[in-house]
Copies of this chain bind each other. A is one copy, B any other.
Amino acid sequence: MLELAILGLLKERSMHGYQLKKRVAETLGAFWQVSYGSLYPALKRLQRSGAVEMVFPTEDVGRRKNVYRITEAGEALFQELLQETGRETGEDGKFQVRLAFFRYLKPETRIGMLERRRAFLEGRLSELRRGFKEYRERIDSYTLALMRHGVEFTEQDIRWLDDLIAAERRGARVKRSPRTARRAAAARIPQKERA
């Protein structure tokens, strides 16, 4: 996961560890975080295995910055990791990291992953709704608020996936404003089927 993310980001442009962490926080931050304690060792590991290499600081002397660049071996490893772990539909965070590299996958693979994720969330949602019905009367207000929040979160997540799936089928890219997308999704899904 970590290695996949590192390679994917370095594919975009060469960076040093600190920048990688920042980049992750600013884009994936809501779903996934890296700590230096795992980032730097991972970078060294990848370097030893030849997947990345250091760019020697020609300019920018004085300040010690280890800029890494992905190698050809790294590109290969990236593709491998991206494919291999493709069944991780559950586990929030992992899915989203993978999604950040969707453009490197074939359209069919993309749709498949999106749909498996959707099915997973749908399953979770019905579980949560079942729980809601079952405990509604018996449970304290905090847990109740939590359950409600969980249901809404999951619903939002599913709507978002629906948009991505729709865009993918159209062959287009998601360009609409979030507000429009929300309305479209609300109109589209029947919601409330399955027990």
Which residues of A are at the interface with B, using a C-beta cutoff of 8 A?
A: 23, 25-31, 96, 99-103, 124, 127-128, 130-131, 134-135, 139-154, 156-157, 160, 163-164, 173-175, 178
Contact flag A103-B146 (CB < 8 Å), given A135-B26, A135-B27: no
Asked if B174 and A145 make an inter-chain contact with CB atoms under 8 angstroms apart, the answer reads yes
Contacts of A30 in B (CB 8 A): 124, 128, 149-151, 153-154
Within the complex, the shortest CB–CB distance from A20 to chain B, in Å, comes to 13
From known contacts A148-B178, A178-B148, infer whether A27 and B156 are also in contact, taking CB-CB under 8 Å.
no
Q: A100-B143, A153-B153, A153-B156 are in contact. Are A124 and B29 (CB under 8 A)?
A: yes
State whether A156 touches B152 (Cβ < 8 A): yes
Q: Which chain B residues lie closer than 8 Å to A147 at the CB level?
A: 27
Interchain residue pairs with CB less than 8 A apart (13): A26-B130, A27-B139, A28-B146, A28-B150, A31-B146, A96-B146, A99-B142, A103-B142, A141-B173, A145-B160, A152-B178, A153-B153, A153-B156
Contact of A127 among B29, B124, B164 (CB under 8 A): B29
Q: Determine which residue in A99, A100, A145, A156 has the highest number of CB atoms from chain B within 10 A of its CB, and name it.
A: A145
A131 pairs with B173, CB closer than 8 A: no
A128 nearest in chain B by CB position: B29
Decide: B175 and A127 in contact? CB cutoff 8 A.
Answer: no
> Nearest chain B CB to A132's CB is how many angstroms away?
8
